[in-house]
Structure 1
Amino acid sequence: MKKINKIVPHLLVLIGFVLVSIIYFYPVLQGNKIFQSDIVQYTGMAKEQNDFRTESNEEPYWTNSAFGGMPTYQLGAKYPNDAIGALDDILRFLPRPADYLFLYFLGFYVLLMVLKVDPLKAFFGALAFGLSTYLIIILGVGHNAKAHAIAYMPMVVAGVLLVFQRRYIIGGLLTMVAAALEINANHFQMTYYLLFLLMIMAIYYVVIAIKNKEYVALGKTVGVFAAAGILAIGANATNLLATAEYTDFSIRGKSELTFKPDGSKNTTNSAMEHEYITEYSYGIAESFNLIAPRLFGGGNSETLAEDSALYSFLLNYGATPAEALQTVEYYGKTYWGDQPIVAAPAYIGAIVFFLAVLGLFHDKLKIKYVFLAGAILSLLLSWGKNFDGLTRFFVDFVPFYDKFRAVSSIQVVLELCLPVLAIMGLQSFFSNDKDKQWTSLWKATATSLGLIVALFLAKGLFNFSAPIDQQLMQMFGESQDKSFGISFINALKEDRMNFYTSDLMRSGLFMLAVAVILWLYIQNKLAQTTAVILVGFFMVADLFMVDKRYVYNNPDQFKSAREVDMPFEPTEVDNLILKDTSNYRVYEIQGRMQARTSYFHKSVGGYSAVRPRRFDQLFDYNVEKNINELGSSIDFQTLSFTKSNPVLDMLNVKYVIVPTGQGDVPITNPFANGNAWFVSKIKVVKSADEEIKALNSLDVTNEAVVDTFEDNGKYFKGGFISSKDSTASIQLKLHKPNHLIYSSENSKYGFAVFSENYYENGWKATIDGNETKIHRVNYVLRGLQIPAGKHTIEFKFEPQVVKTGSTIALISSIGMLLLIGVGVYLVRKKRFKIDD
């Protein structure tokens, strides 16, 4: 009976998590799905591979529908022996996105249980963590992998804490499973940021162990972590190995070019440009959004209404109410922070902050300093270019830091640490004597409200100007009344100031309300349970009211399942192009970095943070910097090009979607080379610089350029033979994402170029069944030496990394199951001994 009584509170908490998750995203109960912008793009990118998987019951691991061809390793590829993925599917049993919200709650609850927080406080703490504005917003826009990884972070921290507390069996098993789930979430940036917190925690416990000369215990801890880590990594070996293999091929790998598209010297040693890495840097003062959501105007999509100063100004200027409201909603841009795009402020909650401060004053557990250090480091690094010295140090000297962009997202560590400190503070507050409670309470109140007052006083230090103001000024300055633009911006600034003031007051009132509740408890006016429920209610209500501005402010946020699963409708241009059933590529000039084109066609564009580096460079260096020249070669009467473009021709771009005043039109490229062709001349160069420059003037129909220093890092020492007769030809007979068959005929020993992206690992070529070397030609394409006569040529994508990884994953998963079985047996045996 005692065991059942212990379990019941946790079961009630889990049921509560399920109910809150479903109620929060209640439209899913009506069969609707959340419309996530990034997932829409993913749907476009993954269309070909998903269709192929459905039709053939086979995994392609390659798609030809985006960026001229790329592996699907970061596009939802399904790997054999993915036992951890199956476990994750069980945990995410709720409809999306309620499943991720449930995972937020569950992971954080497990961490609080390890910190010995009682279930009621842990329940509210988990809700506060999961409803943190940033965590909700990433679900709204479709950063599912990021949300997935964040959800398992607290569980990993919980396992690590248990091991350091010398609960080796349960801690080791939890660390192993949680780490495996974290890696399986496949957002390595979030996992990488988690390692910073774990490193701080490790330093803390190792110093204590060395100080106390507890070397045996330290050795056991290292052994447990090693076993857990090896098996967690091994269970995800396929994805990890595939990602590691692909990284250098993607824009996350270092460029081989020594110059930029504008011709200037490339001086960076990083995988990505410093400006690109730090493009999304949190403003130093903007960080106070953590405690007052609209301190810097909220987000880019923040809307003003009839109660705004801008609306009143427009009415006074003579606009009708409808005109004023429309103008306010469209041009009333309130965000004035440092970041280019912000969906919503990263608000952790005024009460969460207050309780965290209370915890720092009140809680006696030294582990609180680990979470405080993690929060501070996270905050400093999130400033990016606004704290450039620290950021450059990490980019230049900390391994892998230069592989990730949007440094502001490291604040997820802070958004984990502060709620932990908050609930530790709430837990410890009710466990000390009343005198200590009052001392800690007034200090926390003075500190938190003092910060609010300081921000009120600092209001005059800000000008409330935004970069977009200049554009608005120029646009409205063209009106007959030249003062209109200035008055418009001044009214907009007044609204920004009103946001600043009102949200500071709002946060101050929430802090004061909790301080009063805790004071009433000290005065024996409230029971402990009542006080905890009231604090928890206000804490969750605060976050919920802010979240709903950004998740439910758009009536189209939830749509029918069909609209979400099939988000694109073919346009008239798409239908015209699709009448051509041959194999070709499409280039949409104003939409290369989106996936709509990939949904219907084999595109040279797409939407991916890890797009192929060399293919991307082709357009940056050879096509899009000369886009005006390309446009001038269009005959709009015949809707075709009058001049060839070497890069588009060799990529077999047969159609270019061009915007006009009357809408998009499909421009035919009669110079497209087709799927494969023999060349009569090979131009050999010795660097990537020479190779990409040669493409500007290369006769791609008859010539090919080859860099002798190929992808494998070794100079190709053999010569090239390129001869063809007048009737030489290559015909495409079969085209699947992972399997291509050609027939060739040439009376001479020749060299053929195939309009398919070169990828060193996985693609194998055979001529009449005999394997032959694939050369990288024309910077991105494949080339083969083909003997004279008639031949059958096949390309198959059979990545060895998948075979090797899936074998390791199977062995590791079996090892995990065995360890779990042994661990459960030992724990039960130990309990039986205690009971006896």
Structure 2
Amino acid sequence: MKNVKALYPHLLVLIGFILVSLIYFYPVLQGNKIFQSDIVQYTGMAKEQNDFRKETGEEPFWTNSAFGGMPTYQLGAKYPNDVIGMLDDALRFLPRPADYLFLYFFGFYVLLMVLKVDPLKAFFGALAFGLSTYLIIILGVGHNAKAHAIAYMPMVVAGVLLVFQRKYIVGGLLTMVAAALEINANHFQMTYYLLLLLAIIAVYYIVIAVKNKEFKDLGKIFGVFAIAGILAIGANATNLMATSEYANHSIRGKSELTFNSDGSKNTENSSMKYEYITEYSYGVSESFNLIAPRLFGGGNGEELDEKSALYEFMLSYGASPMEALQTIQYYGKTYWGEQPIVEAPAYIGAIVFFLAVLALFHDKRKVKYLFLAGAILSLLLSWGKNFDVLTRFFIDFVPLYDKFRAVSSIQVVLELCFPVLAIMGLQSFFTTEKEMQWTSLWKAAATSLGLVVVLFLAKGLFSFSAPVDQQLMQMFSESQDKSFGISFINALKEDRMNFYTSDLMRSGLLMLAVAIVLWLYIQNKLAQTTAVILVGFFMVSDLFMVDKRYVNNNPNQFKSAREVDMPFEATDVDKHILKDTSNYRVYEIQGRLQGRTSYFHKAVGGYSAVRPRRVDQLFEYNVEKNINTLGNSIDFQTLSFTKSNPVLDMLNVKYVIVPTGEGDVPVTNPFANGNSWFVEKVKLVKSADEEIKALDKLDTKREAVIDENFKLAIGLKNLPIKNMDFKKDSTATIQLKSYQPNHLKYISKNSNEGFAVFSENYYKNGWKATIDGKETPIFRTNYVLRGIKVPAGKHTIEFKFEPQVVKTGSTIALISSIGMLLLIGAGVYFERKKKV
């Protein structure tokens, strides 16, 4: 009975988490769904696989609706024996995105319990973590996998700390389950950043153990981590193995080309270009957004109102109130930081910062320095190109670091560490004598408020200018006199300065309010519980109000379920193209890297951070580099091409959506090669460079090109094909008889032996080709396509996608999941036995 009563506070906390999650996203209770831009793109990309799964009950693992064909491993593929996925589904029982918010709270609460924080303080701490502005913003735009992975990070840290504290059974089981859930979230960039924090923790405890000569304990610790890690990885084997297999095929793999699309030499040693990795680098000064949200103007979508200097300027210039408001909301770009796009500042909370500083002065536990070190490393790495030495070191020497872009997102580690420090500070503050409390309090207040004062005085050091200002000046100079543009920008700078000043004052007042509450407690004017509730209320309200500026319940963010589930409406262009019921591809010139086209058609573009590398290069090096030439070959009277384009033809691009001054138009490509064809000549080249260059002028209907190094990729000493001519008469045909994304059937007729090219993307693992049921090798042809030798006569040719990685991974996942269940059962038994 006593044990049951001890659970009551935790039960109340969980109910509180559920209520806060639902209150924040209350439209979900009305049947509405959040409209997330990234998920909209995913919906387009994944439509073919989702439709196939719904119609057949099977998983295709391949889609032809994006990038001309790619595996669905990173598009929400559902794998057999995914027991961890079932557990995750059970934990995410609330409507989305309230489910992820609840997970934020729950995971962080577990960590604070391990750090011996009492339930009330842990409750407010978990809310502060979950309402950290960046964590809310990613829910607003649809970075669900990222949010998912972040939510399980604190639980993994909790398990690791328990193991190092020699609580082998509980810590090992928590580490095992939390790590399995973390990996299952399928955002390896976030998991990688978590590993950097865990490395700091591990080094600290290992050094202490070695100094104390606790080698036996170290052996147990490593053994527990080994078992937990092996089973957590094993339970996710299918996804991990499939992702690893596909990675080198994607833009995350190293390019085989030695030159760039502009002809310059490719000198990059990393998987991705340095500029691409560091495009989103946090500005050094901009980092103070962590304690004052709009220090650098907020986000790109920040809107000014009637109280702004820019609004007053527009009125003085003669604009009506409505014209003034519309102008400033459209052109009043307040963000003046260094990143290309920012939805909102990464604000952790002024009070969270204040309490974290308090922890550094007051809390005696050395573990605080681990979280401080994690926060500092996270901050330094988030600067990216603005801290070039450190960033290049990590790219060049730290394994896998070059696989991830948007380095600013590593601040998620900081956003985990600071709330931990904050609640450690709050917890420890109430456990010491008054004299020490006062000493720590005034030091924390002096440090935090002193920083605010320094930033306030430093206002004159900033120009408040943004890269967008030049574009606005140029635009205004074309339609207004030059003085208008100058005055407009000056008024805009004044608003940016007002944001800077007002938010610094806001943060300072919040810190001061908490300092006063704690001082009143020292003076015995407030009870401890009252003081904690007041501090928690201020802390959470601060974050809540800032978050609501960016993710709120307006109709633009929450829409009906139908609008979210079916986010795209077919345009007249789409309807025209869809009248053609044959099998072909579509290229949308102005939107290749988006998911809308994939929703309606088999597209050569799509929206993915792991798009197929060779297909991407094909457009970058061959098609889009010559986009003006492509446009010049269009007859806008007949809406058709007058000239062949080798790459589009071989990809079976039958329709190109072309932007015009009067909207998009569908242009027919009469030169498209179709689904498959026989060629008369196969050319062997010596490198990927020669292969892609050959496509500029290759007559793809008559000729094919193969890189002779391809033999190494399929484990052959020699290719069973050489430079050779094939006899091809007018009666030779190959026709696609049946289509499924993972199963294609053709009928070929040819009086001679021939070489057939298929307008399907080559992928080494999983695809098997058979001729009359007998397997035949598939050759990577024309840089991205498939080719096979076909004997004379009439034959049935089939391509089936049956990835062995899924079969093997699923078996490992099943065995590992059973092992996990057995260990959990044994762990519960031994823990209960110890208490008897």
Match of 2:313 in 1: 313
Shift of 1:553: 7.5
Match of 2:75 in 1: 75
Relative distance call for 1:369 and 1:644 in structure 2 (3 A) is: same
Aligned partners of 1:788, 1:779: CA distance in 2, in Å?
Answer: 26
Match of 1:567 in 2: 567
Residue 731 of structure 2 aligns with an amino acid whose one-letter code is: T
Match of 2:132 in 1: 132
Aligned partners of 1:624, 1:434: CA distance in 2, in Å?
Answer: 70
Match of 1:247 in 2: 247
Aligned counterparts, 1:504-543, within 5 A:
504-543=504-543
Shift of 1:487: 0.3
8 Å contact kept, 1:723–1:751:
no
Q: Alignment partner for residue 826 of structure 2, among 798, 803, 822?
A: 822
Relative distance call for 1:782 and 1:799 in structure 2 (3 A) is: same
Match of 2:256 in 1: 256
Give me the TM-score of the superposition, normalised by structure 1.
Answer: 0.99
Aligned partners of 1:42, 1:454: CA distance in 2, in Å?
Answer: 45
Aligned partners of 2:820, 2:319: CA distance in 1, in Å?
Answer: 69
Relative distance call for 1:715 and 1:330 in structure 2 (3 A) is: farther
Shift of 1:725: 2.0
Match of 2:24 in 1: 24
Q: Alignment partner for residue 795 of structure 1, among 795, 799, 808?
A: 799
Match of 1:65 in 2: 65
**What SS does the aligned partner of 1:519 have?**
helix
Aligned counterparts, 1:684-699, within 5 A:
684-699=684-699
Match of 2:719 in 1: 717
Aligned partners of 1:144, 1:662: CA distance in 2, in Å?
Answer: 37
Relative distance call for 1:480 and 1:562 in structure 2 (3 A) is: closer
Shift of 1:3: 1.2
Residues 266-319 of structure 1: CA distance to partner in whole angstroms, max 9, x if unpaired? Answer: 000110000000000000000000000000000000000000000000101111
Match of 1:217 in 2: 217
Residues 35-90 of structure 1: CA distance to partner in whole angstroms, max 9, x if unpaired? Answer: 00000000000000000000011000000000000000000000000000000000
8 Å contact kept, 2:133–2:344:
yes
Shift of 1:259: 0.3
Match of 1:807 in 2: 811
Aligned partners of 2:289, 2:550: CA distance in 1, in Å?
Answer: 15
Shift of 1:481: 2.4
Match of 1:555 in 2: 555
Shift of 1:552: 1.7
Aligned partners of 1:210, 1:760: CA distance in 2, in Å?
Answer: 47
Gaps of 5+ in 2: none
Aligned partners of 1:795, 1:806: CA distance in 2, in Å?
Answer: 23
**What SS does the aligned partner of 2:567 have?**
coil
Residue 661 of structure 2 aligns with an amino acid whose one-letter code is: G
Aligned partners of 1:712, 1:354: CA distance in 2, in Å?
Answer: 59
Match of 1:451 in 2: 451
8 Å contact kept, 1:189–1:404:
yes
Shift of 1:391: 0.1
Match of 1:665 in 2: 665
Aligned partners of 1:553, 1:29: CA distance in 2, in Å?
Answer: 12
Aligned partners of 1:73, 1:480: CA distance in 2, in Å?
Answer: 52
How much is the aligned-residue C-alpha RMSD, in angstroms? 0.8
Match of 2:366 in 1: 366
Residue 593 of structure 2 aligns with an amino acid whose one-letter code is: M
Shift of 1:687: 0.2
Aligned partners of 1:536, 1:146: CA distance in 2, in Å?
Answer: 27
Aligned partners of 1:782, 1:28: CA distance in 2, in Å?
Answer: 46
Aligned counterparts, 1:386-785, within 5 A:
386-552=386-552, 554-710=554-710, 711-712=713-714, 716-720=718-722, 722-785=726-789
**What SS does the aligned partner of 1:667 have?**
strand
**What SS does the aligned partner of 1:58 have?**
coil
Residues 7-54 of structure 1: CA distance to partner in whole angstroms, max 9, x if unpaired? Answer: 000000000000000000000000000000000000000000000000
**What SS does the aligned partner of 1:659 have?**
strand
Residue 751 of structure 2 aligns with an amino acid whose one-letter code is: S
Residues 435-482 of structure 1: CA distance to partner in whole angstroms, max 9, x if unpaired? Answer: 000000000000000000000111111000000000000111223422
Match of 1:107 in 2: 107
Relative distance call for 1:715 and 1:260 in structure 2 (3 A) is: farther
**What SS does the aligned partner of 1:173 have?**
helix
Aligned partners of 2:201, 2:78: CA distance in 1, in Å?
Answer: 34
Shift of 1:715: 5.6
Aligned partners of 2:717, 2:556: CA distance in 1, in Å?
Answer: 56
8 Å contact kept, 1:132–1:348:
yes
8 Å contact kept, 2:769–2:776:
yes
8 Å contact kept, 1:692–1:779:
yes
**What SS does the aligned partner of 1:478 have?**
helix
Residues 728-787 of structure 1: CA distance to partner in whole angstroms, max 9, x if unpaired? Answer: 000000110000000001111110000000000000000000000000000000000000
Aligned counterparts, 1:189-228, within 5 A:
189-228=189-228
Residue 149 of structure 1 aligns with an amino acid whose one-letter code is: A
Shift of 1:679: 0.2
Shift of 1:798: 0.1
Aligned partners of 2:692, 2:795: CA distance in 1, in Å?
Answer: 31
8 Å contact kept, 1:304–1:329:
yes
Aligned partners of 2:445, 2:562: CA distance in 1, in Å?
Answer: 51
Residues 109-138 of structure 1: CA distance to partner in whole angstroms, max 9, x if unpaired? Answer: 000000000000000000000000000000
Match of 1:144 in 2: 144
Shift of 1:713: 6.7
Aligned partners of 1:85, 1:557: CA distance in 2, in Å?
Answer: 28
Match of 2:354 in 1: 354
8 Å contact kept, 1:709–1:716:
no
Match of 1:380 in 2: 380
Give me the TM-score of the superposition, normalised by structure 2.
Answer: 0.99
8 Å contact kept, 2:25–2:553:
no
Shift of 1:714: 5.5
Residues 484-535 of structure 1: CA distance to partner in whole angstroms, max 9, x if unpaired? Answer: 0000000000000000000000000000000000000000000000000000
Aligned partners of 1:161, 1:480: CA distance in 2, in Å?
Answer: 63
8 Å contact kept, 1:623–1:647:
yes
Relative distance call for 1:74 and 1:785 in structure 2 (3 A) is: same
Aligned partners of 1:31, 1:480: CA distance in 2, in Å?
Answer: 48
Shift of 1:4: 2.1
**What SS does the aligned partner of 2:7 have?**
helix
Aligned partners of 2:360, 2:276: CA distance in 1, in Å?
Answer: 37
Aligned partners of 1:578, 1:702: CA distance in 2, in Å?
Answer: 29
Aligned partners of 1:480, 1:241: CA distance in 2, in Å?
Answer: 59
Residue 744 of structure 2 aligns with an amino acid whose one-letter code is: L
Structure 1 residue ranges (4+ consecutive) displaced by more than 4 angstroms after TM superposition? none
Residue 757 of structure 1 aligns with an amino acid whose one-letter code is: N
**What SS does the aligned partner of 1:268 have?**
coil
Gaps of 5+ in 1: none
Match of 1:237 in 2: 237
Residue 768 of structure 2 aligns with an amino acid whose one-letter code is: K
8 Å contact kept, 1:757–1:782:
yes
- How many residue pairs align between the two structures? 832
**What SS does the aligned partner of 1:489 have?**
helix
Aligned partners of 1:615, 1:714: CA distance in 2, in Å?
Answer: 24
Residue 35 of structure 1 aligns with an amino acid whose one-letter code is: F
